[in-house]
Amino acid sequence: MPKVKRFRNLQKSSPQTESLGTLPSTNAAVTTPLIEEQSPSTNPTMSESIEVQPTNETSSHDSWNSTQSMPTENTEQPTTSKKHVGRESSSYWNVDAIDLQGVMKKIKVKVREVSNLPHGQRIIVDFDEVGMAVGEGQGVLAGYCGILATDDNLFPINFERWSGKTGIPNTYFLECFKEILQTTEAIAQRYCKLTLGKKWAAHRQRLWNEFYDPTKTKDQIICNVPTGIDRTQWAHFVTYRLKPETMDICKKNRENRKKQVIPHTGGSKPISRRRHEMLLDSGKLPSRGMLYIETHKRKDGSFVNEAAKAIGEQIEVGLSQSTTDESQVSPHDVVGRVLGPEHSGRVRCMGLGAAPTNSFRNTRMRLSDLSIGSSSTATSSASTNQWEQKYMNLEGALKAYMIMKEGKIPDELATFFDPQPQVRY
């Protein structure tokens, strides 16, 4: 018997939780950037202290503010210098904080307590070498961005896109940084904008999934305004979602999602935090292949399904036979060889914000590897094989770059990338 999809009763809009987008009025201090020197082998390359200013609060949240708990200081500091790997508790985040006097300490904080930090206190968020937030500070920052993204006063839901010509104007984001997340660091701004956009899109999708009923007319859906959402914004949002072109896009997206048959076991933990935890645990930067295997195996060590097993076993063989440093992200590492070229705007196993332009930048600069040795054995078979491999790597990097920029290989260059017979000397 086919599964029956149940829809929300539009005549009974059940009260929702307090709006995540409006925060209680507090005396939050102004943020300033903080750069710390840390060991490159086990620690992130940069830290940011990101802080919030109070947003305009309505009277409906005054009672909630009076019962809001405050962050607590962790007075039981560990005596060992070994850094904890993974989250210490699922009830709170254990993060580093710094005050106006520059005194650092550990505090236990929940996302909703961020606005109640003492005046001048800032939470330190670590960023790795590719500009992604890591550690428990990442969890606090991502959660707080989720609160901001669901505030339709800050980021209205009636815009068609997060960015672009029909998207939210950049002034909205700049105002958020000026009034709430006060930092001028480009690395923090980029990460926050990506996170806000992801949370904003998920918020709109949740609203639509909950309040859309195909048995109701457009006017009936518009009249059933979700709690805490502006009526005008809701009307524009419903009109946009019911456009024929929008519905066609949604249909295509549903069909594409059905093709994704390999689930992962990463849960809500971002790949950047998992990569950093593996770095702290082993002392070595994990490769993309190791991350793929780690996020597609169950706790008992088995792969999530046969498709993941087939790919994972190929990656394991590739890692065991590789003679290069797989921790260096490259379109020709084991993941690139097994799964093929990346799509524009993403890099597998690298997380939010990773793209070929910023993840493969070191690969395209490896021209120094083509230096000519003076040894008399340079013409040997082994040396010839090495040159052929380097030529193939350079050709593949050029091909991936053109596909990323142009969407395809230009017709006038197509014959250049046709398979050529190998020449042995």
Report DSSP letters for 212-224, one per residue: --TTS-HHHHHHS
Dihedral Cα 53, 190, 280, 277, nearest 10 deg: 80
Share of the chain above pLDDT 70, in %: 67
Q: Summarize pLDDT for 323-381 with one digit per residue, the tens.
A: 888 988 888 899 999 999 888 778 899 888 887 777 776 544 333 333 333 343 344 45
Which pLDDT score, from 0 to 100, does residue 79 have? 40
What pLDDT does residue 403 have? Answer: 67
Question: Whole-model pTM?
Answer: 0.68
Is the pLDDT confidence value at 230 over 90? yes
pLDDT of residue 418: 55
pLDDT of 155 above 60: yes
Whether 72 shows a pLDDT value over 50: the answer reads: yes
Q: Give residue 407's pLDDT band: very low, low, confident or very high (50, 70, 90).
A: low
Residues 6+ apart with CB under 8 A from 142: 133, 195, 199, 270
Check residues 192 and 358 and name the one with the higher pLDDT.
192
Task: Considering only residues 43 and 155, tell me which one the structure prediction assigns the higher pLDDT.
Answer: 155
pLDDT reading at 20 higher than 90: no
Mean pLDDT of the chain: 76
**Res 15 pLDDT > 70:** no
Query: Could you tell me which residue, 350 or 425, shows the higher pLDDT?
Result: 350
Q: Are 196 and 173 a contacting pair, CB within 8 Å?
A: yes
Between 235 and 390, where is the model more confident? 235
| pLDDT at site 12 | 40
Cβ-based burial of 78 (10 A; exposed 0-12, middle 13-18, buried ≥19): exposed
Given a cut of 50, is residue 205 above it in pLDDT? yes
3-state helix, strand, coil in the chain (%, to 5): 45, 5, 50
pLDDT surpasses 60 at 178: yes
Give the CA count within 13 Å in the CB-facing half-sphere of 331: 28
DSSP string, 27-50: -------------TTTS-SEEEEE
Across the range 38-67, mean pLDDT stands at: 45
Largest CA-CA distance found in the chain, in angstroms, rounded: 85
pLDDT band at residue 393 using 50, 70 and 90 as cut-offs: confident
Determine the pLDDT at residue 14. 40
Task: Count CA atoms within 13 Å of residue 164 on its CB side.
Answer: 6
In the prediction, which pLDDT does 291 show?
94
Scan for tokens 């503010």, then name that residue: 65
Specify the higher pLDDT residue, 40 or 198. Answer: 198
Say which residues have a Cβ less than 8 Å from residue 333's Cβ, sequence separation at least 6: 287, 288, 289, 324, 326
State the pLDDT at residue 367.
35
State residue 385's pLDDT score.
66
- Looking at mean pLDDT, say which of 51-65, 67-81, 185-199 comes out highest: 185-199
Report pLDDT for 103.
92
With H, G, I as helix, E, B as strand and everything else as coil, classify residue 234.
helix
* 266-318 confidence digits (pLDDT tens): 888 999 999 999 999 999 999 999 999 999 999 999 999 999 999 999 999 99
Query: Average pLDDT in the 135-162 region?
Result: 94
Does residue 200 surpass a pLDDT of 80?
yes
Residue with more model confidence, 280 or 390: 280
Give the pLDDT of residue 28: 34
Cα 357 from chain centre: 16
